Structure 1
Amino acid sequence: MNDGHAHPDGAADAEPLRAAARVFVEVATAVQEASAHATAALTDSRTLRASVRAPLPWYQAERALAHALTNGRGLGYALTGGRLGGLAARLGGLLGQESLAVLLLATSLRLRIAAVALHHPELHADAHLRRLITAVSEDRDLAALRAMRTLLKDRGAVRALSDLAPVFGEVLALKALLDENPLNDRTAWLIATGTRYADADPVLGISNGFVAALDRGQGAARRTEPAPGEAVRLRDRGSLLDFLANIGTLGPTGRVLIQSVTGPDGVERHVVQAPGMRMGRPDTDSPQDLLGAFSSSVLASSPFSRALVKAVDDYGIPQGGELALVGHSAGGSAIMNLVQDPGFCARYTVTHAVAVGSPVDFKRPADPRTWVASVTNQHDIIPTLDGQGAGTCFDLHPDWYVVDYFDPTHLFPACHSIEHYCANLTRDLPEAREHIDDRLSPYRGQVTRSRIYRLYDDPPRPDGYPFLSVPTRREEGLEMPIRCRAGSALSAFFTADPRAAAALVDEHGLGRCVRLGGRALVVVHVGANHDTSAGPYREVMLGVVVHDPWGARPLRVWPDLARSAQFRRAGVCLLASAVDNRDLAGRAGSLWGYRPTFTDVSVAVAGGGVDLRVEPALTLRGRLGPALGVVSGDLVGFARDGRAAYRSVIRSARRARVHPAPTVRLSVGTPADPLTRLAGELGLDGRRALFCTSVPVHQTLRDAGVPIQTT
């Protein structure tokens, strides 16, 4: 099967140059092989011993052979093959000795650059590009370095790479062939001869396999729901542009889409749609990060492709079910890894694979019946990362449908975006789009099912593991304990009139006030719980710090307050609270023994400060100052609802920082609810916090209170 190739207009003009380039590659390869055989014979110990005993004609032949191999006027410094030949070749490379084979390959690369320049005249018309390419071709390292620095300074890295993209692989291979670094010679040969993917970088010669091996993981996929607004943008019909539009909708977010489509013949088939690299840190828990994109390109199997397999298996496609794979950028490399996986192709019938903007030249389908299309923009540098770009003189895949084009938009990464490829296929490449759509005709129909998966390098731990991995139950209409996966907390401590504080505590019958310097210790606790099993909520509690309700321990209360909740006897007598979650406000009395006010609460505990406002008239603002030491981040509270008393705990996974010199102040307006009224009775209006504790990022468990008997 040969579907032909779609190239830029006038590609025939460059074909004679590419044909000549192929001839030079063939001759260079033949010279290299002959040199390897000759070197092996010359360095063989038995041959050397025989030459000593041989008559003069034999000796003269050996000498002529050695002269031809090592003299630049002959075959050049062509020693290669075997341990001694390889060592001699490396030493010669360090000394700048070049073989005939290297010079032939360099000529081939120059011809390819000339062929590309027929369609990209800016390569020669642009003074900076011309200076760089000429310096590399003439093996003038210092001049090439200066030219590259000038190009980067004039246009920046992105624009420079965009302009150089059509001949990026050829320029790198030329540099590697002609420099004095023997470590990158093999890479140059692989790129120049189109043998296989380069197994080391062409600049320094660092192994790509070593870098790719850093991306480890068995791969995992978890079902997830579309983000708000995404579901309505997912296409409900099957076509090339629909599948690519879906990839654009998902974006580089570490997710993939699988859809089922009922074709014109009534048969249900399935389509995997894989976006490219996820933005962010180079190495995350996603196989679609930078490291994952690299390993997907250079390895036959990677966490990205293994995660895709898990997603397809979970989706429930029947054994032998027909499957099309569509991918962009690193997603194209990953789906081609599935295409070349015999085990995957034995379970499913992979009928089509479409890679857009992807380095896939050295991927080979395991099933010869799989139809493959590759769409690449010549100014998109990503597809050239496998060493084969616009200048290649090899027809690596005569049975693929290859769309290799360019448009006026040269700037990378704009020309790499899926939106740009969709626009090109819509406006500039109608014949290519129609051809691919025609081949995808079995998948042109109504989408009957869609499922989004988030991919991982390894199976993700349960949410909040291990702290939040606890048994749960339903109580008062809520799932208990309430598990906060992300939030922050602050406790601001004030001193207050001991008589006023004692009177309030005595009303509850919950022990004696803890005193500091003769004054009662009062706390305003602020919790900003962004992601919990009961929904997001913000709560402010006002309480008086009290001793163990069964007996005061004045000397031991301070270390006791720093203990974890399971060992703490002292706590906070909760007097009043405000919360912005209506369900919690209505159920708190029966759960924890106090009844909060439902009102608007805004709070931020970040950047070394706190900014709290409780409607209508309470604020807490200021800087926390430096932190000295840590204590338990747990909060132990005592409260009484009617005749029943409760001990409740908010258990924190993190320890709290202690801020001994904050500038935090509490302002209390006209009493309008129990919180502002009691704060006013305690004389806290305008008071500066004595000290604070904070947990800027926390996870918490909050169970129902335990009834206790204190009398």
Structure 2
Amino acid sequence: MSGADASGNHPRSDARGEAVPAGGAPAQSPQAADTPAEVTPAGGALPQGALAEGAAAAQPLLRTAARELAEIGVAIQEASVHATAALTDGAVLGALPYAPAEGYRAQRALLRAVTDRRGLGYAVAGGRLGALAARLGGMAGAESLAVLVLATSLRLRITAVALDHPELVDDPLLGRLIGAVGADRDIESVRALRALLRDRGAVRTLSELAPVFGEVLALRALLDENPLNDTAAWLIATGKGYASADPIIGLSNRAVAVLDTGEGGARRLEPTPAEAARLSSKGSLLDFLRNLGALGTTGRVLIQSVAGPDGVVRHVVQAPGMRSGRPDNDSPQDLLGAFSSAVLDSGPYSRALIKAVDDFGIPPGGEIALIGHSAGGAAIMNLAQDPEFCARYTVTHAVAVGSPVDFKKPADPRTWIASVTNQHDIIPTLDGQGAGGCFDLHPGWYVVDYFDPTHLFPICHSIEHYTANLADDLPEARDRIDRQLTPYRGPVTRSQVYLLSDRDPHPEGFPFLTVPTYPAATSRGTLELPVRCQDGSALTAYFAADPGVAATLLEGTGLGPAVQVAGRALVAVHAFWNRRTSLGGYREVHLGIVVHDPWRARPFRVWPDLVRRADRRRSGSFLVDSVVDTDTVSAVAPEIWGCEPSVAPLDVAVTARSARIVAGGPDDRLLTFRGPLGPGIPAGAWDLVGYSHREGATLRSCVETRGRGRAHPAPRARLTVGQAAHPMARHLRELGLDGARPLLCLSAVAHQTLRAAGAPVRTT
């Protein structure tokens, strides 16, 4: 297809497909006249005037010349290999005694051919001896004719890109860096890069270099003295394959990618109501891309069934980009997973996608379109090139947006491929081929390689930005892709979100929550006990309270006396946010008086007993008052645990450094506990043993906990008691805890719990 150059006046096309300005061309910098004459984007390839005159005609000529020079460089390298092989051939060397004069002249000519600057340069290559000699020569700074020819090819590619991106010429700092790299001035290159980073910062520098990022790195790698990155530079310069190593230091890409292990796993997941409302109910390119934006980079993918115009139901796999967070976590969409998807033919991401597709229930031979962004684009292309997957299903279309997929090849030649890339997006260039590519790697693909005024990475890489560009600035490209996707344009009949993982996930809560369950009849129906909390957080704050009031509250319970600290009663406020449980999500706050063994006070032994596991603990908290925020829990709690909680709005937020607990509404506040928790000592999450008294009986219930907790021996948070008439607020005021700071806090940001029914305890 044809587009326009940076001025928007002259149509042109290149080997990568369509390169068009989206949303207008970038303005030309007024600094152009100040750029030193010797600093050009090609390290001296073209004068400034030639870039402005006849750009539309010059660009295809430059790319053609660059491609031909690359082919010449490959031919020269092959000649060097043959010459080196002849020079080191054992049979030739063995024949020297029979014709010493002729043999000497032949060997001398071969040696001069592969070492003389007037011949092939220092071009020893091929075989173990040739490879070793080539590395030693590279470390010494010796260059071959093939390398110099390829360097010239890269300079022409940079110059061709500069016709669309005049800022590469006009900007003195960019021009200084590119010129220094092209002239093989290492010290000057480092100085220029430092000046650019100091002036623009890393993000802006990377964004502005993005259109020629691969070419600049390859040029530097070809001309430097590091032999480890030569192969990567050669692959970028010749377009023969994915860069096998980091072109800066030569670290093997595959050595990094193979660290991403796992057979892939997929688990069905329901989106939140807000997310479900954002998922499109019809099929089109923009609808699929907006779905990716709705999912976000959360480790999830979406599969939809669409009834096409012909009534046939087809299926669309939609794969977002890299998940934020640690470089290597349990998601195949992490940084390592994104890297392996781009470098390898198969990785945990694509294997997890296969499991999601299989689980979705697509019939054998069913037609599938694959849509992916960033790492998701590389992953869906790995699906498209998987022969076994394509034997089970019919992959009709694959659309990769902002993805490094130049060296992916579909297993079924009938699969229609589209690649959409922004020239200032650095991610698609990670395979070594960017805006300066001069090789027609995929004649049958539809490639849209465009640029717009938004140069800043990662904004230009976001799926929202690509969607906006296709919606507003690239109507021709959008319409052409949509025409190809016509069989998938219709109402969505089914949608399913999947959470992907590197490996098949264990059953949720395994092994802690994998316990026998039993039914319990309640006024709200039959419940399954024990109550299992898959994800929650908790805080326990211990206070020194009025011992007389505590003793009064314990009267008639058969429990007591209260555990004391320096003559004061030890009282606890327990707060839980049970985000996901077998009873549903709910919050709870309890006021408890810490008591000894129900049959015998143990003033000294009580302290180690308080940190024992719940099944071995005698002491516990007598729950004086309880508040929950759901009617269901309020109704069943007296029947299961013996406490009688009231219902009130609750807010429980616990982090590693602070806590916020609010009970009651704005006009009926019970308590507020807020503030920093102070330094924390890592420890396991603490179990809770609760005693309650109901209808003359004492019940003991246990909350068994697993997770990481912290003990905060010097908390700075403060408890404020409201003026509500609620029993909890009244008891807190009577205990003298209004405005009190806790003695100790125990926190757990994330934990799991098991809570069985309360068991009767005879206290007399």
- Using the size of structure 2 for normalisation, the TM-score is 0.86
1:88 counterpart (133, 144, 147): 133
Secondary structure of the structure 2 residue equivalent to 1:229: helix
Q: Which amino acid aligns with 2:145?
A: L
For 1:486, the equivalent position in structure 2 comes to 536
* Paired residues for 1:357-372 under 5 Å: 357-372=402-417
1:653 counterpart (695, 703, 706): 706
Q: Tell me the distance in 1 between the aligned counterparts of 2:659 and 2:285.
A: 52
CA contact (8 A) 1:52 1:59 kept: no
Does 101-110 or 143-152 show the bigger shift?
Answer: 143-152
1:6 aligns with 2:18: yes
For 2:359, the equivalent position in structure 1 comes to 314
For 1:401, the equivalent position in structure 2 comes to 446
* Paired residues for 1:216-295 under 5 Å: 216-295=261-340
Q: Tell me the distance in 2 between the aligned counterparts of 1:517 and 1:14.
A: 86
Using the TM superposition, give the Cα deviation of residue 425 of structure 1 relative to its aligned residue in structure 2, in angstroms.
2.6
Q: Tell me the distance in 1 between the aligned counterparts of 2:172 and 2:714.
A: 63
* Paired residues for 1:488-527 under 5 Å: 488-497=538-547, 500-510=549-559, 512-516=561-565, 520-527=569-576
Q: Tell me the distance in 1 between the aligned counterparts of 2:626 and 2:122.
A: 86
1:339 counterpart (384, 407, 410): 384
Secondary structure of the structure 1 residue equivalent to 2:352: helix
For residues 665-702 of structure 1, give each alpha carbon's deviation from its aligned partner in whole angstroms, at most 9, with x where no partner exists: 65556672333444455555566545454445433222
* Paired residues for 1:532-551 under 5 Å: 532-551=581-600
Does 275-284 or 543-552 show the bigger shift?
Answer: 543-552
Using the TM superposition, give the Cα deviation of residue 518 of structure 1 relative to its aligned residue in structure 2, in angstroms.
5.5
For 1:448, the equivalent position in structure 2 comes to 493
For 1:563, the equivalent position in structure 2 comes to 612
Using the TM superposition, give the Cα deviation of residue 141 of structure 1 relative to its aligned residue in structure 2, in angstroms.
0.8
Using the TM superposition, give the Cα deviation of residue 440 of structure 1 relative to its aligned residue in structure 2, in angstroms.
1.8
For residues 203-260 of structure 1, give each alpha carbon's deviation from its aligned partner in whole angstroms, at most 9, with x where no partner exists: 1110000111121121111112223323233222222222222222222222222111
Q: Tell me the distance in 2 between the aligned counterparts of 1:656 and 1:61.
A: 79
Unaligned runs of 5+ in 2: 1-14, 22-54
Using the TM superposition, give the Cα deviation of residue 648 of structure 1 relative to its aligned residue in structure 2, in angstroms.
1.0
For residues 525-556 of structure 1, give each alpha carbon's deviation from its aligned partner in whole angstroms, at most 9, with x where no partner exists: 33344443334444333333333323444453
1:596 counterpart (640, 645, 656): 645
Using the TM superposition, give the Cα deviation of residue 330 of structure 1 relative to its aligned residue in structure 2, in angstroms.
1.4
* Paired residues for 1:70-89 under 5 Å: 70-89=115-134
Distance 1:441 1:519, change over 3 A: closer
1:164 aligns with 2:209: yes
1:587 aligns with 2:599: no
Q: Tell me the distance in 2 between the aligned counterparts of 1:631 and 1:200.
A: 43
For 1:425, the equivalent position in structure 2 comes to 470
Q: Identity of counterpart residues, as a percentage?
A: 63
For 1:215, the equivalent position in structure 2 comes to 260
Distance 1:185 1:632, change over 3 A: closer
CA contact (8 A) 2:365 2:394 kept: yes
Q: Which amino acid aligns with 1:492?
A: Y
For 1:63, the equivalent position in structure 2 comes to 108
For residues 425-473 of structure 1, give each alpha carbon's deviation from its aligned partner in whole angstroms, at most 9, with x where no partner exists: 3343333222222222222222222212121111223333332333334
Unaligned runs of 5+ in 1: none
For 2:48, the equivalent position in structure 1 comes to none
1:638 counterpart (673, 691, 694): 691
Q: Which amino acid aligns with 1:193?
A: T
Q: Tell me the distance in 1 between the aligned counterparts of 2:602 and 2:643.
A: 26
Q: Tell me the distance in 2 between the aligned counterparts of 1:395 and 1:249.
A: 35
Distance 1:180 1:627, change over 3 A: closer
Q: Which amino acid aligns with 1:51?
A: L
* Paired residues for 1:92-241 under 5 Å: 92-241=137-286
Q: Tell me the distance in 2 between the aligned counterparts of 1:59 and 1:17.
A: 44
Q: Tell me the distance in 1 between the aligned counterparts of 2:195 and 2:684.
A: 57
For residues 560-585 of structure 1, give each alpha carbon's deviation from its aligned partner in whole angstroms, at most 9, with x where no partner exists: 23321111123233333333333222
Q: Tell me the distance in 1 between the aligned counterparts of 2:463 and 2:340.
A: 21
CA contact (8 A) 1:576 1:674 kept: yes
Q: Which amino acid aligns with 1:703?
A: A
Distance 1:107 1:502, change over 3 A: closer
For residues 481-538 of structure 1, give each alpha carbon's deviation from its aligned partner in whole angstroms, at most 9, with x where no partner exists: 233321112131425335x544543412235444555654443433344443334444
Q: Tell me the distance in 1 between the aligned counterparts of 2:60 and 2:449.
A: 15
* Paired residues for 1:33-52 under 5 Å: 33-52=78-97
1:574 counterpart (590, 610, 623): 623
CA contact (8 A) 1:544 1:572 kept: yes
Distance 1:696 1:157, change over 3 A: closer
Distance 1:539 1:26, change over 3 A: closer
Does 20-29 or 204-213 show the bigger shift?
Answer: 20-29
Secondary structure of the structure 2 residue equivalent to 1:507: coil
CA contact (8 A) 1:563 1:631 kept: no
Secondary structure of the structure 1 residue equivalent to 2:164: coil
Does 98-107 or 521-530 show the bigger shift?
Answer: 521-530
* Paired residues for 1:652-691 under 5 Å: 652-654=705-707, 657-660=710-713, 662=715, 672-682=725-735, 684=737, 689-691=742-744
For residues 265-308 of structure 1, give each alpha carbon's deviation from its aligned partner in whole angstroms, at most 9, with x where no partner exists: 22111111222222233222221122211111111001111111
Q: Tell me the distance in 1 between the aligned counterparts of 2:583 and 2:429.
A: 50
CA contact (8 A) 2:551 2:560 kept: no
Q: Tell me the distance in 2 between the aligned counterparts of 1:617 and 1:441.
A: 60
Q: Which amino acid aligns with 1:505?
A: L
1:19 aligns with 2:56: no
Does 514-523 or 351-360 show the bigger shift?
Answer: 514-523
Does 218-227 or 687-696 show the bigger shift?
Answer: 687-696
Secondary structure of the structure 2 residue equivalent to 1:32: helix
Secondary structure of the structure 2 residue equivalent to 1:454: strand
Does 668-677 or 346-355 show the bigger shift?
Answer: 668-677
For residues 338-362 of structure 1, give each alpha carbon's deviation from its aligned partner in whole angstroms, at most 9, with x where no partner exists: 1110000000011111112211111
For 1:373, the equivalent position in structure 2 comes to 418
CA contact (8 A) 2:260 2:348 kept: yes
Does 586-595 or 353-362 show the bigger shift?
Answer: 586-595
Q: Which amino acid aligns with 2:467?
A: C
Q: Tell me the distance in 1 between the aligned counterparts of 2:423 and 2:574.
A: 60
Q: What is the aligned length?
A: 708
CA contact (8 A) 1:540 1:579 kept: yes
- Using the size of structure 1 for normalisation, the TM-score is 0.93
CA contact (8 A) 2:544 2:568 kept: no
CA contact (8 A) 1:493 1:692 kept: no
Distance 1:508 1:400, change over 3 A: same
Using the TM superposition, give the Cα deviation of residue 129 of structure 1 relative to its aligned residue in structure 2, in angstroms.
2.1
Distance 1:611 1:198, change over 3 A: closer
Distance 1:247 1:63, change over 3 A: same
Q: Tell me the distance in 2 between the aligned counterparts of 1:44 and 1:489.
A: 78
